[in-house]
Structures are given as C-alpha cells and as structure tokens.
Structure 1
Amino acid sequence: MFQTHLSPEALRGALARLRSGPPERGRAGARQPVHTVYGGAHLFKADTARKLGAVALRVVEEHAPDFAAFARAIGLPGADGLPEEHAEALALSAAIEAGGGAAARASGPARLAHAVYARVLDKLRREPVEDLRIDFEDGYGVRPGHEEDAHAAAAAREVALGMAAGGLPPFLGIRIKSLGDECAERSLRTLDLFLSSLVAASGGALPPGFAVTLPKVVAPEQVSALADALDALEGALRLPAGSIRIELMVETPASILGPRGEIALPGLVEAARGRCAAAHFGAYDYTASCEITAAHQHLAHPACDFARHVMQSALAGSGVWLSDGASNVLPVAPHRARPGGAPLTPQQVEDNRRAVVGAWRLKYEHVRRALGSGYYQGWDLHPAELPVRYAATYAFFLEGVEATSARLRGFIERAAQATVVGTVFDDAATGQGLLRFFLRAISAGAMTEVEAAERTGLTPDELRGRSFHAIVARRSV
C-alpha cells in the first residue's frame, strides 16, 4: 500500500486543465499546399490555374522532353549516369513502366528520376496550382483608385465563375496592401469590394480554403484591424463567423522581434483572434530592411536562416503553417521568336536553354534546402517554376522512403524501448516524427495513402489517425 494525498476531485481538476490545452489555431492536421503562386489581380481569370499548368508543360516539353533530360536539368542524384539520347531515354522509360526484369535492372537513380518525372507531368495536367493568391500588392502596384476598384470587382467575378466551373485550385485568396498609414484605407476598401462582389456573384459562398494575406506586418494592431474588418464583413455578408482566414507575411525585423527584444510572432498570431492560418517569409523585403544590399539578398543568406528559425521556434505546435519565400532568379528565356519573324538562331536557342535550366537548378536547390529545414511550402512566381517545385518535393520524400519506412516498422515493433536500426539510434520521441514523414509525403502528393500504407505496414485508418502513440496503444492490446 502506498500513501497518496491527491483527492479524486483535485486529480480530476488537474487532468481537465491539461486536456483543455491551448485554443486551437491554424489548420493543424489539414492538407498544407506545397506552394503559393502569386499573380497580379489585374491578370486573374477563372481559368488562370489551368493556363499556368499549360505553360509549365510547354516549358518542360521544350527543355526536358524525357525523364533523363529533366533529371539532369534540375540536378537529381545520379542524373549524370542516365541516357543522353532521347530515344534511349524513352526506351528505358518504357522498360520501367512495363515492370518485370527490365525494370528491376534499372538503376536506383533511373527509377527515382522516372517516378519524379511521371508525377510532375501528372500533377501539371491534373492540378497545376495548389494555392493561388490574387495579388493587390507588389504584383499589382500602385494604380488610380477607380482602376483598383474595377479590378477588385472583376477578379471577384472571375473567382465566382471559377467556383461554378470547378476550376479553382484547392486553396485561394487575395493579398491586400499593407495596413500602414499610407495604404490602410485603400487596402480595406479593396478587401470590401472584392468580398462584396464575390458574395453577390457566387450566391453567398466563398471558395474553400479562402484566405487574406496581410503583407509587411509590423505591429499586432495591424492584424487586429484586419480581424475587425473581417468580423464586420462576415456579419454584413452573412458569412459564417471566422470563416475567412488570415495569413501573415513576415517581411520586416519588427515581425520577428518586438521593440523590447521579445519574439513578436506569437503576439501577431494572437491578434488575429483564431484566424491566423499561416506565416509567409518575405526574404527580399526582410533582407532589405536589414540593409543588406541587393546583390547579397537571397534565400540562403544567414539573416534569412535566422528569421526562418525564429518563425519555427515561435510557432511550433501552434498549427500555423510556415512558408518560405521566392527564388530571385526566374526560369525565363531571354529570346522569343516573333510570329512571322525569323526563327531563333542556334545560339539563341542555347541561351534560352541555359537560362531556364540554370534557374531550374537554383530553384531546385532552394526548395530542397527549405524542405531539409522543415519548410514544406514556398512561393512560386512564374509557371515555369512549377515543375521544379513539384520535382524537388517529390524527390525529397521518395529518396527517403526506404530508410524511413524501415525505421518506422522497426520502431513500431519495439515501441516499448529505444532501438537501433542499422546505424541510426531511435528514441521514443522519434516515432511520431517518422510517422509525420509519411503524412507529409501524402499531403504533398509524393505518394498516395495506399502506397504509404504498403511501405509502412500501417492501415489507412492508422495513417489518418496521425498519432504514433495511438498506433502503438492499439497494437499493444
């Protein structure tokens, strides 16, 4: 017999406090898009996402007509050993697709490159854009008030058309201007016009996953002002309370550290009053604010690493998604053939190839670096970036499947104690991280739920439960 002094009432009270936990924020457990594509509001049409996918496919066909060429262009591991002749690459592709002995004899790099290329092409045809932001800020510029009014209403009507046709991306929203002194009234007027026009044109509905992105946040009061405006608009337009999410752009040192040196992000998220779904890092405004010259502004700058890590630490476990910024070199060909004009010279064709492939390689490195740092979403500004975004994401997960699935299976079998698998030591906290790898891979489209279940030995229901502890508890009975 052991003596205790906690009464049943005291114990229940303490446990109830633990179970209540912090208020739910963000979109914990939901699908996170792998990117956000920004485009000027004056250019948005109901079929914009489809057109971006078509452009992306044409660029791939021109500069990487087979899986081996694409692998070399972006720098996939082992790409140098793949066939350089188009006919040979097609023959190897056919053998891999046919399966059997020929496929088994294909090298690991060939199978990886083929899988990535096939998934990228399928994605560009089926769902080329996951998250689209109709931009009234940097991608739109400063225009006369009547012109922005007209574009806000027109973009809203196009969204309504896209909703009716089923052609919008899974996530969509607008980026308004900042709520600094000079732009605040214009920004909120655009928000009002857009939402009012959209609700009128759509019969009272918003697209699923709709968000308003607030740029250049420097104080909690700016976030609170946007939340106040959304409260009022939801009431006036008879929309469900809290249905419009806010995304914050971290573009200034004031978004990272407050005036007394405290971390500012939790206060910014709190000011959104439960609406904050994501925080997006703006590398170039941030580095400019740190007085880093333009020649040295890039995603891999140490100042950017510091800001991103503060974002991770401050918002870990909050359910607020994190997104990296954009690459500063776009895959744009410098030479274009004019209709009815002379064709491009061989040198111009080579110049175009070098420009696109060089930007692809840089984009691939940026995306892989972000993924390795725990950032699973980023910005894309040009349709030719889409193939590389998806390729880098798919390769990141597919390369790690074998090792991670072996560790997860072994860890589940020996969940009651720490275990060593190969040369890697796992402790109890690792189990959830191993499971999260596959949940992320499914969310990103790198593999299906069925493929993940086959790799891990888990059931689809166990994967959907998202809890390593629950899996172990169920299997221990």
Structure 2
Amino acid sequence: MEDALNAELDRRLAEADAELTSRYPGDRGLRQPIHTVYVPADRYDAGTIDDWAKAARAALDEHGGSADELAKLLDLPRSHGAQVYERVVAKLEREPIEDLRIDFEDGYGNRPDEQEDAAAVDAARALAALLKTDAAPPYYGLRIKSLEAPSRRRGVRTLNLFVSELTSAGQLTYGFVITLAKVTSFEQIEAMVVVLEAIEGAQSLPPGTLKFEIQVETPQAILAPDGTTPLPRMIRAGAGRVTGLHYGTYDYSASLGVAAAYQSMEHPVADHAKDVMQLAAAGTGVFVCDGSTNVLPIGSRDQVHAAWRLHSRLVRRSLERGIYQGWDMHPAQLPTRYLATYSFYREGLETAATRLRAYLQGGNSGYLDEPATAAALAGFVLRGVECGAIDLSEVDTLIGVDLPGLSVLARR
C-alpha cells in the first residue's frame, strides 16, 4: 500500500517539486561582499582604490584616536576594541574595497554622448589595468542608466562599450557585475536579458557570462499595479542572471513623498521595502543589499564623529536585520563599515562557536538547535571569516571544523 501511495504522491507533486527546485535553488556558494562602493565614472581611474584606502586611513588617524576612544565613540564593546581596530587597519591595507561599482547613473549624470562614450572606454581601460594587480577587488562592475525610454539607448551603449573594452583586455572575470538602475517592471528585466545575450554574442562570450543586480528604488519595483510584488517575477525573468537586489534609499523615499530631512535607511518605508526584498530573495541565491546614508564624515571633528556614529549604527542595524551588504559613498565611511561589521562578528563568535560545536559533537550549549539554525550559525561564522573579522585558526580551535566543512554546513 505504501509503495503505491508514495508513487501517487510523487506523480501528483512532481511539477511542484520541479518548480520549487527551479525557483529556490538555495545559496550560490559564493562570498557576499559586505559593501558596494560607488564611484562616479568621471572620478574613477586605476588608482582610485589606493586613493580611497589612503583617505580612509588618514580619516582614521586624524579623527579616530585610540582603539578605546573609537570604541567608546561608536558604542562598540571595548573588551575587544584593540583587536577589532588592528583588524580594520589591516583590512584597509589589504582589501579596502570588496565590491567596486563605477557609476554612470546618478553619480555621473547626463552628459553629451561623446563624453560618456569616452568615459566608458577610459573607465574600462583603467579597471582592466587595476585587475592585473594585487589591488583588484573581489567584485567589480558598473551601474548603467535605466531601461526606461529616455535613458535606454544611453545605458545600453555605455554597457556595450564598457564590456567590449574589458573583454578586449582579457579582464572580464567571474567578479564582474552590472547594476541596472530604476527598474519599474519585470519586462525591463526580460529586456536586460536580451541586451546581455546580444553583447555576449557580439563579444563571443559564453552564454550566461554577464550577470546583473536589480536596483530597487521605485515604488513599482515593490508593488505592481495588480497589488502584488513583482520582485519574484523579476528574479525569474532574469533567467539565472540576477545576482542581487540593491535598495536605493533616496530615490525610493523621495518617490513615496518622504521629506528630505527624514529620508533614511531606517525610515519605515525603507524597512518595508527591504522586508519585501528579503522575502522575494529568500532561497533564490540572490543577495540583498541595503542602501546608503548621505550624511558624510567630512568637516570638523565633531561633524566627522557624528557621521561615524550614524553610519556605524546603521551598518549594525542592517546586520542585525539579516542584510549583510550596504553602499558606501565616501572613503571616510570605510573605517566605520569595517569597525561595525567586525565588531558584530567578534561579539557573536563565542556563542555561535559554542552552539555549533555542541551541535556537531553532541554537547550541551544550552540551546536546542535544529539543522536550519545550525546552518545560520555556520553562515554567521563563515561571513565573518570571508570579510576578515574571524581567523580560520579560531574556527578550528573553537568549533573543530575546517573551512570546507564550515562552508558545507552554512550553505547546505
């Protein structure tokens, strides 16, 4: 009886099983950067990352004070302040930017065609030169103008010129990603796939090489005319090319009528949009990225400190809400990005490690952790390792597992 019943269930649920596997393939098994740095195309050259690193370190030296003073300023646990501070300094030397986006959209503006043509070629050549060095970031790419009618041709032309130049230099690697701005419909995602297929064909690239992120900064990206959210359809329409959903703080807030003084990553309309983004992306392997704060750490020491406190708090808030990536718009935001992020992982390491070790070895941690929670704990530790907050030696000592084992547990 059971064999016949199970066969009937398999028959009835075969289509649903296949649909579930197709729509929700799970983690892609890739490192998610903790931030995306946006640099206007006309201000980008091969020395930009080095310039940002030097400016970030200079801001830290000028305004940071000692490790204890900085921890107190940012309301970080002082018990591991020196350790976090040293790791941040090392990060700024080793890998100051994890994800670089050369901006041809709002950060660049509307220019004459010949000017943007030249900027696209120059930026791609500068990026190709950078990618041949040890200073290259793990992820890199460009943001193009939207596929709405007024900017469609310009966005496509810039993308084509940029990819052509990068391909000619032999520097188009797995880390390349495109950000598509101001998406308003899933039809635009279908159109983007057509664009990428055409460019791949013209450049003799393997099908599926070019990936892109959807910039969620319009009301239409959150709520369609029929009252549903279009984001799942957008991800599906991307045909496996969509790698991320990036929240645009200020365009989205302004489009909902939020006054400029109250536009923020923590405004209720922002939280609602990001909740929808997280739900739409869950189980798909698509990364979710928070937006930015436009309060820059510049000016007097008091002004820098106020901006740092805000940025640090917002970064921590996003992490606690399960959003592990955000935008940075100024070099002096790098110290607080890393300080807040490293503190988050250092604070939680001991408890996460204790629970994981008990789960793997059958001990008692005081928690009854199930497989899903164990995966979340492993994911927490793995993210800390990938960004530099946690050492592999600590993982081995505290948990008794190597990196491959941790990765399997986190991404199963």
| TM-score strictly above 0.5 | yes
Look up the match of 2:84.
116
* 8 Å contact from structure 1 (residues 170, 208) kept in 2: no
1:207/1:413 Cα in 2 relative to 1: closer, same or farther (>3 Å)?
closer
The SS at the match of 1:165 is coil
Equivalent in the alignment of 2:314: 366
Structure 2 residue 405 is the aligned partner of structure 1 residue 462 = yes
Contact 2:131 2:171 in 1 (8 A): no
The correspondence of residues 301-340 of structure 1 with structure 2, limited to 5 A, is 301-333=267-299
- Structure 1 residue 8 displacement after superposition: 8.6
Report deviation, 1:368.
0.3
Given that residues 324 and 370 in structure 1 are in contact (C-alpha distance below 8 angstroms), is that contact kept between their aligned partners in structure 2?
yes
- 1:377 is aligned, of 325, 331, 334, to 325
1:48 corresponding residue in structure 2: 48
Deviation >4 Å, runs of 4+: 7-20, 23-27
- Structure 1 residues 328 and 261 mapped into 2: Cα distance closer, same or farther (>3 Å)? same
Q: 1:276 aligns with which of 242, 260, 265?
A: 242
Instruction: Name which of structure 1's ranges 264-273 and 320-329 shifts more when overlaid on structure 2.
Output: 264-273
Give the conservation status (yes or no) of the 8 Å contact 2:392–2:402.
Answer: no
Which blocks of at least 5 consecutive residues in structure 1 are unaligned?
Answer: 78-108, 334-351, 470-477
**Alpha-carbon distance, 1:248 to partner:** 0.5
**Superimposed CA distance per residue, residues 139-194 of structure 1 (whole angstroms, 9 cap, x where no aligned partner):** 10111111111101111111121122343211001000111111001111111111
Q: Measure how far apart 1:430 and its partner are.
A: 2.1
Report SS of the residue matched to 2:4: coil
State the distance in 2 between where 1:300 and 1:8 align.
49
Matched residue, 2:194: 228
Cα gap change, 1:429/1:159 in structure 2, threshold over 3 Å: closer, same or farther? closer
What residue identity is the alignment partner of 2:69?
A: A
Find the aligned partners of 1:180 and 1:135 in 2 and give their Cα distance: 17
The offset of 1:462, in angstroms, is 1.7
Change (3 A) 1:383 1:152: same
TM superposition shift of 1:414: 3.8
Aligned counterpart, 1:91: none
The whole-number CA distance in structure 1 between the counterparts of 2:368 and 2:236 is: 38
Q: Is the 8 A contact 1:174 1:213 kept in 2?
A: yes
Q: 1:133 to 1:330 in 2, by over 3 A?
A: same
State yes or no: 1:190 paired with 2:128.
Answer: no
SS of alignment partner, residue 22 of structure 2:
coil
RMSD: 2.3
- How much has 1:12 moved relative to structure 2? 7.7
Matches within 5 A, 1:387-398: 387-398=335-346
User: Rg larger in 1 or in 2?
Assistant: 1
Q: 5 Å matches for 1:232-271?
A: 232-271=198-237
**TM norm structure 1:** 0.81
The corresponding residue for 1:215 is 181
Correspondence list, 1:416-435, <5 A: 421-422=365-366, 424=367, 426-435=369-378
Aligned amino acid, residue 84 of structure 2: V
What is aligned with 1:6? 4
What residue number does 1:408 align with? Answer: 356
Give me the whole-angstrom Cα distance separating, in 2, the residues matched to 1:209 and 1:180. 27
Aligned to 1:71: 71
Cα distance 1:375–1:142, how it changes in 2: closer, same or farther (>3 A)?
A: same
| Alpha-carbon shift at residue 25 of structure 1 (Å) | 6.5
Q: Distance in 1 between matches of 2:405 and 2:83?
A: 26
Residue 125 of structure 1: aligned partner? 93
Q: Give the aligned partner of residue 264 of structure 2.
A: 298
Is contact 2:312–2:337 with CA below 8 Å preserved after alignment?
yes
Q: Which whole-Å CA distance do the structure 2 matches of 1:15 and 1:431 have between them?
A: 29
Q: Is the 8 A contact 2:377 2:410 kept in 1?
A: no
The one-letter code matched in structure 1 to 2:157 is R
**Paired residue secondary structure (1:466):** helix
Distance 2:314 2:192 in 1: 32
Q: Is the 8 Å Cα contact of residues 374 and 409 (structure 2) preserved in structure 1?
A: no
Q: Which residue does 1:341 correspond to in 2?
A: none
Q: Percent identity?
A: 43
